[in-house]
Chain A
Amino acid sequence: MSRSFGSGAVAIAIVLGVAACGPGRRTGTPPPTDAGPTAQPRQYDPAVEPAPREIIRALLSLRDTPLSIDSSCVTAGTSPEDVDLGDYVSGWLAELREGAGKNWVETSVAAEPDPATGARAWRSAVVFRHVDGDDRWGWGVSFVMAGADHRVSPGSIRCTGAG
């Protein structure tokens, strides 16, 4: 299943806004798993597919993952200086232009066993898209999230995009 939402400007605000917030920003909700040594892992119903915001949050958690994690990522950044997924995602988000064509963020999810454990998991993806005539692209990241805690399996990470 795939879902898309937002204009480019809105998408940037959503993603960068979440990235800019620190631990504890969700009063009344369990702390994020990367909030520090006292954080409790989140638990999810493995039978329920991750929501778009959960998929995007998983992508944000991969910020420091080196592009060398997979051959599909090595030359996928908009700058030869890019070294990690944070650089890669930032570079493509920066290419979304206000007032030129259409921009949107697309998420998708499908059941796929965890490559490491075989447990129930979800192949998830986030794609940043732009369409303005022949200026047409969609670059993003695909990964497998564990069903029970939504942790990303490092060996499942792929940088997607063509053109």
Chain B
Amino acid sequence: MPLTRADLDALVGEDISQICGNGYAAPNDNHCAHFVSHVAGYGFGATCRTMKVGTQPGASIRVQELFAHCPTVGRWVDRPGSLLSCLVFVTAASNVHIKKHQMDNVPRKHVGIFLSGTIWHYSNSQHQVVTQTPEQFIHHYPGSDIALFYGSFPA
């Protein structure tokens, strides 16, 4: 079932411990891909159940694995006009190899869900789900090389 604004808005302000039923919720871990995957139902690659014993379906936890599973990826400025909802990634452009459909597993990379002009993502510093515009999201990390990338939703 497609994600709706109401679904995502209901999660704003929640800590990852309220979202992950497997208890993988340490505040010093990075939960951006983890959040996206619980919401969208992605369970490929390393999951929260790889990290912690649990009874709920495992959700993917690594940004580079989400990127690799997107059917189409590209620079944000090249996003097709018909793609009204998708995953949105922010990292240094040098970490992304679009032709290879690959993102390096570098520290500074982040992912959120884009829907009709708004991005929902997990703020690891605020420990909660927040919303931003793409114009705000690109400033998630400092640096002139930081750029946005899109990825159509994995099946």
Contact = CB atoms under 8 A, between A and B. Distances in A.
Contact of A129 (B24, B28, B46, B140): B28
Contacts of A78: 104-107
A162 B51 contact: yes
Contacts of A136: 28-30, 124-125
Contact of A162 (B34, B68, B125): B34
Interface stretch (A45-53, A69-77, A149-157): A69-77
How would you classify the secondary structure of chain B's contact residues: helix, strand, loop or mixed?
loop
Contact of A134 (B29, B46, B141): B141
A158 B45 CA distance: 12
A160 B62 contact: no
A4 B37 CA distance: 29
Given A71-B45, A162-B51, A138 B125 contact: no
B51 A160 contact: yes
A133 interface: yes
**Size bin of chain B's contact surface:** 20 to 34
Contact of B61 (A129, A133, A162): A162
A139 to B, nearest CB: 8
B113 interface: no
B109 interface: yes
Given A136-B30, A138-B29, A162-B62, A75 B105 contact: yes
A39 B118 CA distance: 62
A52 B124 CA distance: 27
A80 B31 contact: no
B133 interface: no
A135 B45 CA distance: 22
Nearest to B24: A162
**Size bin of chain A's contact surface:** 20 to 34
Contact of B28 (A80, A138, A159, A160): A138
A78 B110 CA distance: 15
Contacts of B24: 162
Contacts of A160: 50-51
A90 B30 CA distance: 20
A71 B47 CA distance: 11
A163 B104 contact: no
A77 to B, nearest CB: 6
Instruction: Indicate the member of A71, A137, A160 with the most B CB atoms within 10 Å.
Output: A137
Contacts of B62: 75-76, 161-163
A162 B31 contact: yes
Interface of B: 24, 26, 28-34, 45-46, 50-51, 61-65, 68, 102, 104-110, 123-125, 140-141
Given A75-B105, A163-B110, 16 more contacts: A71-B46, A75-B45, A75-B62, A76-B105, A78-B104, A78-B107, A80-B102, A95-B107, A134-B123, A134-B125, A136-B30, A138-B28, A159-B46, A163-B29, A163-B33, A163-B63
